[in-house]
Structure 1
Amino acid sequence: MRLYKYLTESLLEIDKRDIDFLFKPFKPWLKKFKELVDNKDSDGIYSLFKSMYSLPSNEHKDVQYIKKYRSKDLKSKEAKLAHKVKPIDIFIGFPIHSSAYYADDKYIMAGISIVQSMAEFRLIDITSSNPFKDVKEEWSEVKIKASIRHELTHWLDDTKHNLFITKNVKRAADIISKKGYKEGILSMKGNKPHMYLTPQEINAMIHSIAELKEIYSEKWDKMTFDDMISLTPALSVLNKELGYKWRKEIKKRMARENLFGKKMK
């Protein structure tokens, strides 16, 4: 039996104070980025992006971080309880590839992808009507806060449900060592065709959507489902890659958690 089958699907009370606290180190970076975009200064944006590499890196060399926290630094009661079960480091800044919760190594990294930022910079066409559209989506408060909430959800889920993610990762590592990478990944996915259709990933994405609902509360009932998905690059990519099955799982959970706007069904 796999533990994640018994994951209780319900919204966690992730305190806004924790999201805002972890987001704070990004404020001067986003302010500078906005100034450069407003001035259409592509050279300045490139210099800003290059400066990410001058930040300190964690021991795994997979994130350049603005600020390193311990889970004990979080403000909410729920986070403090989770810290007692599984204390972790939290790196806020620029993951090389993507934000993640590494249960086995006991850390979260959350923020803006270096690889994605550089890829989107190369696509900038200064002559177009909206040359910085894609990179602005990556470098946005909405995207960053959603990624922070997503990774905190994984950690909180893990601590609330008998460390099921930690155990699943260790089981997969053991299978990889004995049977190879493919078999290990299959064990992580369970009976799902894709990792991002597993209950723990759907749950984390639902919490990202809950964050979007808070940020866009005044516009929420005017948005369609596709409008909402387009708010963050991560949701947009998954929608394109996984299509109907993913949308079905997301909509099912959104209905259960009362997250639908009036035009989203």
Structure 2
Amino acid sequence: MTALAPARPAALVVPPRRRRPLRTLSWVVVSVIVIVGFWSADIAWSRLGELPAEIARYLGLMFGSPNWSKLPEALWQTWRSVEMAWIGTVLGILIATPLSLISARGFGPAPVRAVLRFVFSLVRAVPELVFAIIILSVTGLTPLTGALALAIGGVGTLGKWGYEAVENVAPGPIEAARAAGGSTAQVLRWGVWPQASPTFLSFWLYRFEINVRASAVLGLIGVGGIGDMLTSYTQYREWSTVGMLLIVVVVVTVAIDAVSGRIRRRIMEGPRVR
């Protein structure tokens, strides 16, 4: 018997590539906007070559011989910035937490949820510096102004993170609490909070880290703290003192971030088994 020759595979037919004129037009428009933005900006492009040498000169002025005689005052002002950040974080938590629970699907009326979510988005769109400028007309140039601005800014982020955390919990405990005849508050207490509390605590610590960095920026408008010192000594061009202040800011911020990050990992992952 003669063996049958293997059948030749049919030629692959490549489907025609779909044309997407809308996407192409979008990329063209974005490219034109970027190019026009670069060319219309009032930038002295010829000075870019001098930038590395200028940066090196100012780094030498700031960090070549830092003025450590101002260190005690710098530490005190840094402590005031941390206090400002802490008070702003606590106030933001007290305001945002109940609002975030109401904003979650299944725990608040739809119109209320829509209004609260819009408020959270609106607050996130405004920098804390703008809130501080508005508040200082009432409270004056005090650390309380910075703390209130940080609290208002924290409501936007903590509120959004909060209702997203509530909506992502497992539905089983919630259904069990409702089947047992629990009210909305009881369902939140026994069905939601035990699951969502580690996430909430992690968000709170992360917001404190953000507020520590933001408090230094708020000091630039004169509400106190290490940012106020940076503004003053930069205006007088005392670069050795500015360098020392920057070292203090970096060391304190990195230390707080490291401690907070370690605590957040412990909360989310639990204790490590040795």
Q: Kindly name which structure, 1 or 2, has the bigger radius of gyration based on alpha carbons.
A: 2
TM value normalised by structure 1: 0.36
Higher relative contact order (CA 8 A, sep 6+): 2
TM value normalised by structure 2: 0.36
More helix by share: 2
More strand by share: 1
